[in-house]
């Protein structure tokens, strides 16, 4: 496919997403305030502007719901974590009205949007979905809305292109799980920041879903830890550490109940940081001595927080231990310094390995260029001074491969690829499964790109493609997330 096609498709996706976000925004504003309120008017202005721009470009818009997928003019919109609320809100709204199709004609007026959303908001919810679509259509006619039309929900099929394979559904589910995890982590951290003791119950539910997902389809959820292009490091870091720790725990044979506890320990490991000054946490330059000492207080601040949280609710003791010990290193040379000899527990060692890997591979304020994943794993494995349990680092390498999911690599064919999964053969960790992102002549490929297993030899027993080196995706204008969403 040519580069032009990539751009066009991308532009439609982008303005389609903007349209859904503005429909959701206007609908929420109308729910909260009377129509003459400035917030409602502003939301309607935005909605009208984005719909008009898209209609002018496309000559009309058809938004179709197929299962949980949303198509705009046959192009499936991909769920992102930043527009997660708008997407699920839109799907829920359409489903509650029994609507599966919304057609918007060029020339639609701002008044038609306002009337349509007001009718939707006033629709009785206690009647059959079919009746609801009929009632909605009738009211729209009475109100003289002519450039908007709705149709009932259809089962699968219509409008669904090959874009929505069964694998995608698993991925969508993984994304929802991930987004819920991030939301739960945000709740806890913000609660602690405001001096509230958060509830462990909601957190436990989010963790159960993550564990179930790891048990079910490890690859899709570990792949999501590579989507780090947003500014929510604190929350995504806890969720990533939780996912890595649970996936590792599963490899070690822990049972589901143990994994729930481990997940909770991992998600809460840095909770003490919520009690520190954000200026220290987000400082872009290196820390002064006293700031460094403050930062080092987060393990015991976390311990105190979790002890309080424990009152009345069953928080596993090992979660408190992990918050306390996760920077101690296995030779006890880290912090806080233990008063007497101790052996670091398995949960803590697992959390420490997951924590070290995620922290080193993530871009943060003071770390403009994150280390490449393969270099991080090598350092964790080769340098005993880092203080990780070598057996667990080895297990992490087996889990992620030498080239973890999301790594951008150059092949000996001059193609550039993004790693999509570890080789199923443990002897072939250097030959992962990849998606081709740039072809041999340097042309960008439409994501998600062709999938190739580098460990499969050709008829002569040689390998058609081999990794030459790891590179930064930005060099080729690639966004790793595009290959997973
Ligand atoms: Fe920490
Ligand atoms: Fe951490």
Q: What is the pLDDT of residue 2?
A: 38
Q: Cα(392) to centroid of ligand 1, in Å?
A: 18
CA neighbours closer than 13 Å in the CB half-sphere of residue 92: 10
What distance in Å separates the CA atoms of residue 264 and residue 181, rounded to the nearest whole number? 11
Nearest of 62, 72, 25, 17 to residue 45 by alpha carbon:
25
The CATH classification of domain 166-398, taken from the options 1.10.3210.10, 3.40.50.11060, 3.40.50.620, 3.40.50.1370: 1.10.3210.10
Q: What is the pTM of this model?
A: 0.65
Chain centre to alpha carbon of residue 437: 21
Q: Cα(320) to centroid of ligand 1, in Å?
A: 13
Q: What is the pLDDT of residue 365?
A: 44
Q: Cα(257) to centroid of ligand 1, in Å?
A: 24
Q: Cα(211) to centroid of ligand 1, in Å?
A: 22
Beta pairing, strands 467-471 & 408-411: antiparallel
Write the Ramachandran bin of 360: left for phi over 0, alpha for psi from -120 to 50, otherwise beta: alpha
Q: Cα(403) to centroid of ligand 1, in Å?
A: 25
For 340-362, write each residue's pLDDT tens digit: 889 999 999 999 999 999 888 77
Q: Cα(210) to centroid of ligand 2, in Å?
A: 18
Q: What is the pLDDT of residue 238?
A: 92
Q: Cα(314) to centroid of ligand 1, in Å?
A: 23
What distance in Å separates the CA atoms of residue 469 and residue 168, rounded to the nearest whole number? 29
Residues 65 and 101: beta-carbon distance below 8 Å: yes
Residues 329 and 387: beta-carbon distance below 8 Å: yes
Nearest ligand to the CA atom of 266: 2
Other C-beta atoms closer than 10 Å to the C-beta of 20 total 21
- Span of 154-163, 256-265, 304-313, 377-386 with lowest mean pLDDT: 154-163
For 200-231, write each residue's pLDDT tens digit: 777 888 899 999 988 887 766 777 776 654 45
Tokens of 118: 């007001």
Residue 176 sits at the vertex; the CA angle it makes with 359 and 98, to the nearest 5 degrees, is: 165
Q: Where are the domains of the chain?
A: 3-152, 166-398, 408-483
Q: Cα(303) to centroid of ligand 2, in Å?
A: 14
β-bridge mates for residue 467, sequence order: 411
Report which listed range, 8-22, 264-278, 398-412, is most confident: 264-278
Q: Cα(272) to centroid of ligand 2, in Å?
A: 10
What distance in Å separates the CA atoms of residue 330 and residue 32, rounded to the nearest whole number? 54
Alpha helices in 33-155 (DSSP H): 38-58, 84-96, 110-122, 129-142
pLDDT above 70 covers what percent of the chain?
A: 87
Write the Ramachandran bin of 365: left for phi over 0, alpha for psi from -120 to 50, otherwise beta: alpha
Of the two residues 59 and 239, the one the predictor is more confident about is 239
Write the Ramachandran bin of 332: left for phi over 0, alpha for psi from -120 to 50, otherwise beta: left
What 3-state class would DSSP assign to 372? coil
Task: Give the total residue count for the chain.
Answer: 485
Q: What is the pLDDT of residue 469?
A: 85
pLDDT greater than 50 at residue 167:
no
Q: Cα(334) to centroid of ligand 2, in Å?
A: 14
pLDDT greater than 90 at residue 71:
no
CB under 5 Å of ion ligand 1: residues: 270
What distance in Å separates the CA atoms of residue 141 and residue 77, rounded to the nearest whole number? 29
């Amino acid at each position: 496919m040519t580069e032009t096609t990539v751009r066009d498709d991308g532009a439609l996706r982008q303005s389609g997403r903007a349209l859904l976000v503005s429909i959701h925004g206007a609908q929420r504003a109308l729910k909260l305030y009377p129509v003459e309120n400035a917030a409602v008017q502003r939301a309607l202005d935005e909605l009208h502007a984005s719909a008009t721009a898209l209609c002018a470009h496309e000559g009309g818009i058809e938004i179709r719901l197929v299962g949980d997928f949303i198509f705009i003019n046959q192009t499936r919109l991909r769920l992102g974590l930043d527009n997660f609320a708008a997407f699920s809100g839109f799907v829920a709204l359409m489903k509650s009205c029994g609507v599966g199709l919304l057609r918007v004609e060029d020339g639609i007026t701002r008044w038609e949007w306002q009337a349509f959303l007001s009718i939707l908001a006033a629709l009785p919810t206690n009647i059959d979905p079919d009746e609801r679509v009929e009632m909605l259509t009738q009211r729209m006619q009475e109100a003289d809305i002519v450039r908007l039309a709705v149709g009932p929900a259809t089962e699968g099929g219509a409008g669904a292109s090959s874009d929505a394979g069964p694998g995608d559904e698993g991925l969508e589910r993984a994304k929802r799980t991930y987004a819920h995890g991030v939301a739960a982590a945000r709740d806890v951290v913000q609660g602690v920041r405001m001096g509230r003791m958060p509830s462990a119950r909601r957190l436990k539910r989010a963790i159960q879903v993550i564990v179930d997902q790891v048990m079910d389809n490890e690859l899709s959820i570990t792949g999501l830890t590579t989507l780090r292009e947003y500014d929510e490091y604190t929350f995504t870091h806890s969720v990533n550490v939780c996912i890595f720790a649970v996936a590792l725990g599963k490899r070690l044979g822990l049972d589901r109940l143990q994994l729930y506890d481990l997940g909770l320990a991992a998600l809460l490991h840095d909770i003490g940081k919520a009690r520190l000054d954000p200026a220290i946490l987000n400082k872009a330059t290196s820390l002064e001595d006293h700031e460094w000492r403050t930062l080092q207080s987060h393990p015991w601040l976390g311990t105190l927080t979790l002890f309080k949280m424990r009152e009345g609710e069953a928080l596993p003791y090992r979660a408190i231990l992990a918050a306390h010990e996760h920077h101690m290193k296995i030779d006890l040379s880290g912090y806080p310094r233990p008063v007497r000899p101790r052996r670091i527990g398995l949960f803590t060692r697992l959390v420490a390995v997951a924590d070290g890997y995620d922290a080193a591979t993530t871009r943060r304020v003071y770390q403009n260029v994150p280390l490449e994943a393969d270099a991080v794993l090598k350092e964790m494995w080769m340098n005993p001074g880092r203080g990780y349990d070598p057996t667990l680092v080895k297990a992490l390498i087996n889990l992620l491969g030498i080239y973890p999911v999301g790594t951008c690599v150059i092949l000996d064919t001059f193609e550039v690829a993004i790693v999509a999964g570890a080789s199923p053969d443990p002897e072939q960790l250097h030959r992962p499964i990849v998606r081709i992102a740039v072809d041999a002549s340097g042309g960008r490929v439409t994501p998600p790109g062709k999938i190739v297993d580098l460990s499969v030899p050709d008829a002569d027993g040689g390998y058609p493609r081999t990794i030459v080196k790891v590179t930064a995706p930005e060099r080729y204008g690639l966004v790793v997330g595009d290959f997973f969403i």
